[in-house]
Structure 1
């Protein structure tokens, strides 16, 4: 078993015939280059008895305080069946190599189907082990017929509303994106998450380009109700991020939006549309979105979640403790602020 660095040309050759996740494709390095604290680290090929078994592209991330780790988002990409033994063997080779070539790296975040003693739940961030993938390798009529009845009904209702329009707005400028971002902020306040600054998404659109990063928007009389940023690579599409306001719910604006996305991608020959995450027993945080996403595809697909693989376990454990202390302090501060506000309003 061996793990060796490869250049872009060799990497593409080894992955030929696969639908590389865009985060594992060479084009993603351009986005890594403009994100603060992040850069492309390298690409590796994993071989068994001289036969390629997997490829992986890694980004380096610099965290607060100067610690560093590698992030193989949606990787490794396996060329053979990823058994538990194969996954563990690749990780052993990777950890050994990193201790030699870059001993200051604390851990690697990567994906694995099988739990193992060397893997830890990610210390922060969202991951999932189930998703909803719409098969677009069939006719538009077959895609629509395969949806749940409630999905078809919602789309039909929205299509009858002449005040709604869905258009592709790929290539929009900063001022135009600001209108979409306002809806994103509203969604975050409603769902309890904080979006990245708008610049992060604009950089993604710019560096990946219109071939890979697409924007679709549902409007009512010109006002934004819902939007989606869709990433496309090797004939596969991923719903990366999006938002909808309160008005969108009663108008079924998001249903109409995703149907337009699917029709557009299907007409262009894209073969699948991944709606990016569904809830499960292990990751219940996404359960609220499962009902909406399964309107478009009844079957749920099992996927490999992300894990942290400590390269230096003691240093990793120290980071976990520090993060826990920070979260506790933040919660205490918020609680104190809430009590002060309550007294002032009493």
Structure 2
């Protein structure tokens, strides 16, 4: 794609201004908008506690009449020693969905402001609905542009279960009949149990093809967000061995199933299914109305097809489209250099893997040949 500097510039009709948290929060409240937790002061504490991350600032995009149109909270991070900004799950648009022109204008205003206030920044990562020149696939991480969102505002637990697809109800009820399986809110003992749970996460990553973050990332998340905004739920066999677990974040009446993992046994016995049902019931009791299961497969991200299929059985609505994340270069030449460096790294890694596979095949062949 072409860079923003090569695209036809828009004549800005709106404006951008920096604001403090209280102003940011009030604007969202006035618009009856529940912010993603990553856009809140609670997330600032998590960012501040992590190496290589820090809150950068909050912006309000205003229309031509000066009315707030979108909210953006940015975190300063780095890749290969080069700083960038990430507005996780933002811009948060207020009111109607944005037009392509509004998204383009917002991008130009953000990039122009960052060049002035923090010229070391190489790119800004923002979430957009409309494809456009100047939007690049992410460096070194995966986004998603479809997800599954459950409505947990029901009369009772049975009504919540009844809202699932037939396959989802069947799998949950099958697990609930297994009296060996027990389900627990272990938020208050997270620090002492998480070592066991992290082993399950690494097993899940090996099985599903992803690399877990360092264990301290999850511990820091639970500690800094605190029990009001972050819960740990676990399924166990006989109240002892952990089979499945999840971390849910909460802000206002919204929640997100941020991380989840299960053992092979937990999957076979549907402990993961029943845990999802149980935690939805517990979240409803905490005032949650909408629950984002975070990520499903799409044309852009087919790697999530399998996990998306699992999540979709818990609602007839299936997956829905949401804005995916894109990199927007602020310093295009340096960004292009980063892209080339990562491409060379991936090619080198692929070459090493191919050599190792050939050597392994030769060893196997040699071992299989009879001695003369």
Q: TM-score, normalised by structure 2?
A: 0.90
Q: How does 1:187-336 map to 2 (within 5 A)?
A: 187-221=204-238, 222-299=240-317, 300-336=319-355
Corresponding residue of 1:137: 153
Q: Deviations along 1:225-249, whole A, 9 cap, x unmatched? A: 1000011111111010110011012
Give how far 1:282 is off. Answer: 2.1
Q: How does 1:44-55 map to 2 (within 5 A)?
A: 44-48=59-63, 49-55=65-71
Q: Deviations along 1:37-79, whole A, 9 cap, x unmatched? A: 1111111111112111111100001221x21110001011111
Corresponding residue of 1:9: 22
2:41 alignment partner, SS class? coil
The 2-side partners of 1:173 and 1:101 are apart by: 40
Corresponding residue of 2:89: 74
Which is worse superposed, 235-244 or 324-333?
Answer: 324-333
Give how far 1:123 is off. Answer: 2.4
Question: Among 165, 168, 174, which residue is 2:185 paired with?
Answer: 168
Q: Deviations along 1:89-133, whole A, 9 cap, x unmatched? A: 111101111111212211100100111112112123111111110
The 2-side partners of 1:173 and 1:297 are apart by: 30
Give how far 1:280 is off. Answer: 1.3
The 2-side partners of 1:88 and 1:205 are apart by: 36
Corresponding residue of 2:56: 41
Q: Is the 8 A contact 1:59 1:71 kept in 2?
A: yes
Q: TM-score, normalised by structure 1?
A: 0.96
Report how many aligned residue pairs link the two structures: 345
Which is worse superposed, 180-189 or 78-87?
Answer: 78-87
Give how far 1:173 is off. Answer: 4.3
Q: Is the 8 A contact 1:37 1:63 kept in 2?
A: no
Q: Gaps (5+ residues) in structure 1? A: none
Give how far 1:166 is off. Answer: 0.5
The alignment yields a C-alpha RMSD, in angstroms, of: 1.3
Corresponding residue of 2:11: none
Q: Gaps (5+ residues) in structure 2? A: 1-13, 368-372
Mark the structure with the bigger radius of gyration: 2
Give how far 1:204 is off. Answer: 0.3
Q: Is the 8 A contact 1:56 1:76 kept in 2?
A: yes
2:138 alignment partner, SS class? coil
The 1-side partners of 2:291 and 2:127 are apart by: 20
